[in-house]
Structure 1
C-alpha cells in the first residue's frame, strides 16, 4: 500500500473518498478564520469625530475607539511595538 511504501506505521484515519470530499469542501471555504460565523459588531461613538461607528470588538472603555476614517488617519492598527 501507499502508506507502507512511505514507511508510515499508522493507518489513515479517513478513507480515500472521505479525504477527497473533505479536501474539496476545504477549498470552497476560503482562507484564514473562515470556520467562524459572522463577527459580532458593536456600536460605538468615535473618539475623534463623534460619529456613530461599528467595530468588530467589544470596547473595554480604557482606550479611545475610532470610526474607520479616523482610525486610518491615525495611522491605524498597532501591534504594540515589538521587534518586527
Structure 2
C-alpha cells in the first residue's frame, strides 16, 4: 500500500489534483473473484491481484509467479515482447 500511495501522490501532483484514486484494503470489496466481477461490470476500475487468480483467463501471467527467474526489469520487459 505504501508504494501505491506514493504513486497516487505523484499522479495527483502531476495532474494538479485532476486525477485521484480511492483505495480499498483488507477485503472490504469482497474476495478476489468478487472484485474481478465488480471490475467487469464497471463498479471498480482496478485492483491488485496475484497472478494465480488471473491465470484462469490469462495463462501466460503465471510466468510472473516463478521465483528467481528474472535478474532485473529489462529481462522482464524482453520476455513481455
Looking at both structures, which has the greater relative contact order when contacts are Cα pairs under 8 Å and sequence separation is at least 6? Answer: 1
- Classify the TM-score, shorter chain: under 0.3
* Greater radius of gyration (CA): 1
TM-score of the aligned structures, taking structure 2 as reference length: 0.25
More strand by percentage? 1
More helix by percentage? 2
